[in-house]
Amino acid sequence: MQSEPAPREGTLARPTLADVAARAGVSASTASLAFSGSGPVSDATKERVLAAAAELGYAGPDPRARSLRRGRSGIVGVVLEERVRAAFLDPVKIQMLDGITEGIAPLGAGLLLLTDTGEAGGNAVGIESAPVDAVVLVGCSPRLGDAVEVLRRRGIPAVAIEGAAGEGVPQISIDNREATRRGAEYLRELGHTDVALVTLPFDADRTRGPLTPELIAASTADTASERLAGARLVFPDANGRAAAASSIEEGREAGLALLADPATRPSAIIAQSDLLAAGVINAAEELGIAVPAELSVLGFDGIRVDGLQHDLTTLAQPSVAKGRAAGEAVVQLLAGEPGESVCFTSTLHVGDTTAPHPARAAR
């Protein structure tokens, strides 16, 4: 072994732990302990090692070698069912991500963004080859089953948020159906009988348009289906429109469609997200319909819609807590524990976008 390996391509050969150890006059294992700090090393030795490292420009142990040796990479994967841009347009997802970050904080792990779209061709790092210690599956997708199977084979623990999971996969969810039912009941108590729905997309194609039985039957989106079912528990004949995404603009379009004709105009609208609700409110204001005097609007999520000047009546779900619970489940799984499934309860927040039915209020 040469003491001075030839630098290649003008780049100085990066020093390795062994180099540092040699420079400090100690053995490699001692140097290792000096860095990981987990073993008994005299302060003097430790200092000498650190000094040697500084002189050589050694930047610490190679994470790749470390993770091979330790069997852990210190990375948690987050699998989104859409492309990054789409996922992060949804405030709820962002909050969940933030919650996940909190939940896995004790791990000190990084978050690796993964999508289940398409296949990881070639040597791409997909769900089947990512150097992750665990994975959080966000949102239910048809191919989620495959993902779980791959992970099971790889022995990588997984947690699912809002999606049918599988054996040994803790599930973090909320009471979509029951919550929506409660919201709908509140509207009924206010005297509303003629209620329309603006739903989240039901399928991967994000079909926009009227709520047809076919569309509903072909649903691959649990969340949309469950919230719809909850609403129909109270208003069995409620109809409406499916949006192509959860956004203010989509809500506005659906709102315009539902409110344009005074003859068929509902007295209340149940939107499956706050962004959609905000859009519906915008639409109403454009049409000169007063909210909540002439139209009640119910949202879902409990986010603060940036720029909306209403206090939305909504079913507030604990998005951050959901993420945190998922993160904590990851921590449990990595500790060899079973990993706790949690179903959170959404709470009806009564704001200023709902009011008694106009006819009743007029009495």
Question: Interface residues with a second copy (CB under 8 A)?
Answer: 9, 11, 14, 36, 57-65, 67-68, 71, 73-75, 77, 83-85, 88-89, 91, 94-95, 97-98, 101, 107-114, 120-125, 128-131, 150, 153-155, 247-249, 252, 275, 278-279, 282, 286, 305-309, 336
The smaller minimum CB distance to a second copy, of residues 153 and 363, is found at 153
For residue 120, what are its two tokens? Answer: 């990881």
Q: How far is CA 329 from CA 78, 341, 342, in A?
A: 14, 8, 9
**Cβ atoms within 10 Å, residue 165:** 21
**With binding defined as CB under 7 A, does residue 145 bind DNA?**
no
Quick one: DSSP state of residue 222?
A: H
Q: How far is CA 81 from CA 11, 99, 261, in A?
A: 41, 18, 37
Which does residue 167 bind out of a second copy, DNA, none, counting CB within 5 to 8 angstroms by kind? Answer: none
Secondary structure (3-state) at 174 = strand
The smaller minimum CB distance to a second copy, of residues 170 and 323, is found at 323
Site string for DNA, 53-72 (x = CB under 7 A): --------xx--xx-xxxx-
Question: For the sheet containing 268-271, what is the strand order?
Answer: 209-210, 239-242, 195-199, 268-271, 296-301, 313-316, 347-349
Which does residue 171 bind out of DNA, a second copy, none, counting CB within 5 to 8 angstroms by kind? Answer: none
Q: Across the strands, what pairs with 185? A: none
**With binding defined as CB under 7 A, does residue 18 bind DNA?**
yes
Question: Counting Cβ atoms within 10 Å, is residue 112 exposed (0-12), middle (13-18) or buried (19+)?
Answer: middle
The dihedral over CA atoms of 233, 237, 241, 243, expressed in degrees to the nearest 10, equals 10
Quick one: DSSP state of residue 262?
A: G
The smaller minimum CB distance to a second copy, of residues 55 and 194, is found at 55
**What is the residue-wise DSSP string for 5-34?**
PPPBTTBPPPP-HHHHHHHHTS-HHHHHHH
For residue 200, what are its two tokens? Answer: 């989240």
Candidate residues 12, 36, 106, 360; the one interacting with DNA per rule CB under 7 A: 36
Distance CA 225, CA 231 (A): 10
Which does residue 89 bind out of a second copy, DNA, none, counting CB within 5 to 8 angstroms by kind? Answer: a second copy
Which does residue 26 bind out of DNA, a second copy, none, counting CB within 5 to 8 angstroms by kind? Answer: DNA
Which does residue 125 bind out of a second copy, DNA, none, counting CB within 5 to 8 angstroms by kind? Answer: a second copy
**With binding defined as CB under 7 A, does residue 113 bind DNA?**
no
Tell the smallest beta-carbon distance from residue 191 to a second copy (Å): 29
Tell the smallest beta-carbon distance from residue 280 to a second copy (Å): 11
Tell the smallest beta-carbon distance from residue 221 to a second copy (Å): 21
In this structure, the chain runs to a length of: 363
Tell the smallest beta-carbon distance from residue 274 to DNA (Å): 46
Distance CA 194, CA 263 (A): 12
The smaller minimum CB distance to a second copy, of residues 62 and 194, is found at 62
Which does residue 57 bind out of a second copy, DNA, none, counting CB within 5 to 8 angstroms by kind? Answer: a second copy
Tell the smallest beta-carbon distance from residue 100 to a second copy (Å): 9
Tell the smallest beta-carbon distance from residue 337 to DNA (Å): 19
**What is the residue-wise DSSP string for 94-110?**
HHHHHHHHHHTGGGT-E
The binding site for DNA (CB under 7 A) comprises 1, 14, 16-18, 25-30, 32-33, 35-36, 38-42, 44-46, 61-62, 65-66, 68-71
